Amino acid sequence: MEEAFGRFVNVVDVEATCWTGQPPPGETNEIIEIGVCVVDTADWRRTERHRIIVRPRRSRVSPFCTELTGLTQAEVDRGVDFATACAQLDGELLGRFRTWASWGDYDRHQFERQCGPGGAAYPFGSRHINIKQHFADAFGLRRGIGMSQALDKAGLPLEGRHHRGDDDAWNIGALVIELARLGHPITAATTTKADFTS
């Protein structure tokens, strides 16, 4: 593994405000939960898990969102603002210095959008890994599949609640480790440059 890749990878999963159809007028999708699983690539194990609840500014938690994620408006109202959450990712979790990974590109795009002009400081460096695509390539799949389907295909259990940020990040971390065990470790070669850096 290239030295520049680094030993630790931050596996990130976000949950955002959502609705059964279009957002209500004046509202938009915003991150309300960030889960992080730190994977040590020296011995391929999960070493840390973190959960950050984020208070949205321009949207509210719908009944559908509560059913999906378990998060309520009262819970996110007690969360930190998005800029503070990004500062925690960058500071405590060395976000700009570690490669980070997520299941698909949704999480990366959501951070890029919310950290746009006038937004919070982008908390990551430019090295990102799309684990969904990496898994599809390793298993010879024509396209990416959902995380829970991937766990089934890999013969791994779903730990915790699906669509809870820290549980999903923990499960994606398990898939990262299983891929390494099967001879498909994530490396610097599997990273893609993010579109947005600061």
Judge whether residue 119 has pLDDT over 90.
Answer: no
pLDDT digits (tens, 9 = 90+) for 20-76: 999 999 999 999 999 999 999 999 999 999 999 999 999 999 999 999 999 999 999
What value does the mean pLDDT take over residues 81-97? 97
CATH T-level topology, domain 3-193: Nucleotidyltransferase; domain 5 (3.30.420)
SS (H, E, C) 8-20: EEEEEEEEECCCC
Judge whether residue 100 has pLDDT over 70.
Answer: yes
What value does the mean pLDDT take over residues 108-121? 93
SS (H, E, C) 39-72: EECCCCEEEEEEEEEECCCCCCCCHHHHHHHCCC
Q: Which token pair is 125? A: 């460096």
Cβ atoms < 10 Å from Cβ of 7: 13
